[in-house]
Chain A
Amino acid sequence: MSEYQEIGFEQRMALVDFRVSERAHITVDGDACRGCTTQGCVVACPANLFVPTSDGGILFNYEQCFECGTCYLVCNTEGAITWTYPEGGHGVVFALS
């Protein structure tokens, strides 16, 4: 019998319904991150949306966000993350959770 394969991260995220809004509900100030030694957001964000850049900054994509709150809670740098909820009706929509 064929079996379902363990899937890659992109496929995992593709299983979730994200109704992407035009407005980014979370923004990250890459400059503020350059002084951050821990970069806890990178390992903690369950959607893996924080990508460290070679110059010590952070690249952030808001589209596939669970709106969970982990990132702003683990970040200790004032002003690095601006966190709001997406426009009503947009963002993540769960079905089987």
Chain B
Amino acid sequence: MAYQIERLKTDVVVIGGGLAGSLASIRVKEDGADVIVLEKANTNRSGNAGSGLDHMFSYVPPVHEKVGYTKDFMKSDMYQIALMGLGLGNKKIVDHFVDVSYERVISLEKYGVNFRFEDSHLAEGFRLVPQFHSVPTSFHFEGRDLMVKLTEGMKKAGVNIVNHAQVVKIIKNKEGKASGAIAVSDREEKIYVVEAKTVILTTAGGAARVGDKMNFENPYFEHPSSTDSGWGHTLAMNAGADVINMEFMIKNGGLAFPQFTFTAGAPGGTWWPAARVVDDEGNVIVERVTDYSIDEPDYLKKNVEMLDKFAIQKVTIGKLLNEGKQLYVDLKEATDEEVEYIKWSMHNEGKCWLYLRNLEYNNIDLRDVKIPYRLFRHVTIGAGAAGVLVNERTETTVENLYVAGDLMGGAGTVGAPTAVVYGIEAGLQAAKKAKETTYSNDEFFVESQINEVKVTVEKLRGNKGGEKWQSVLERVHSIVETFGIYPLTDGKINSALELIRKLKEEVNIYAPDDHELSRAFEVLSIIQTAEAIFTAADLRKENLGPFKRYKDNDTRIYGERVPAENAVLPEATEYGLYIGEDGTIHHHIHKTNQDGGEIPYKEQTLNAPYIRWE
């Protein structure tokens, strides 16, 4: 095996050319710095947004101002989403999001994405649908080919895209600052080494593969496997950056977000508002919502009431699934016009396009079927609060390393809007910093990091007696399935950690070709992610909202909503995990003090006394 090394140099390197990464890279170019994007697949169709998006929330002044829905109102809505409501998250990330969302989301029109429709009854020709805010906030738009269009945009802007390059390591200089990335090709025997002044990490933040199969037999698999292997977390942790709230990535089933397979969602997602949720006896658990006219008096009040009811119904969905009830998405009551509209949105939303083609193939109308929910048993990507600790400038606890998109920790909710807003932010910040920075790599130091990767590659490729990646993954799943069941106890956590660490030491994978090499690397990341999840669970001693450690199985994430004026963010503890010099997991403790507004940013974290895990 003769892996060839290709050395490249640029101002900013972007790891992961998905939604956030592509927008970040264009922004870097616009700000006059050079940029290379390292993408493990192909930016045209990779990542969560690869086969399309149909909705994206934003503060929309021309509509929202008219109905009295203020920016502050939207912020307080978002303080209550998921873990944010428990104090796990960063208020400033939410605030900044709301402040700049409109201009950034709508800037996608520049790339030829359509947001305006002649039959619209709203200002500017927009279509808005409800998602989790007190009034409809989500643009319904034509985003099926968004990534194809952004790829064209990147090329026009002069971004250097390197596809089929999976990053396996962030390069650091002697001062511990991020200064490049090392990627391995899945097409040829090649290792890319990119030196840069600043680094943007946007690999998305899922880790469902820690507990769930990704394959044909599991069509429920929600996110692309390449973004669901915990890659972002482990790349960041290994670079010394803090990753927070990992314990929330493992949870029991029956969450309030037990979405239908292809993230189409039921009520709350794309199929809104004509879908209902029913049980086996035909009882309606979640009724269809009303699309109130914006001119109706009390528009805001009516929507708030509907949302409050919906929040409670979501909890009910979780409970019923947990009790073993089967629930279905059901469109029986939809009118022809509504079905056409739903088909239009499904055409644009990832995976749903294919679902429509298959319904056609089977000669089935949407109203002829019930779509079963699935109980997610273990790990989901759900927790928007879990991810790399960042501030609203996308800075991390490692200098010159920026993180945006689904991988952000403390964002409250992640999704396309966060990826757009903070992808652009990361581009802006990383370009600015790159201009003030000089190359700082010590050749010998870089060589040793390249060598580390080379040794791993050669071992995996040459290790003919080793296991297949699939069978190692099975072993991780066995551990998670056995010990990751709620309620978690010290005993379960310790057993899991012991077995994971043993597996980490013994692991011996054989990758017969370049493709399987990339899978083998993913499995190594999955093992480390599993270790981080159980380590974080071990640290978290108190019961906090959905994270019930010793008590009952309440997996509530969405509680009852507090009216906007009473929304107060509690204080909470976050455990920031990172890999220390000795190669093992350490942690910092961060106190979130939302109302004082001070989240432990880089400056504070490094100066603050922190407790070592020893």
Q: Do A and B bind each other?
A: no
Residues on B lying within 8 angstroms of A by beta carbon are none
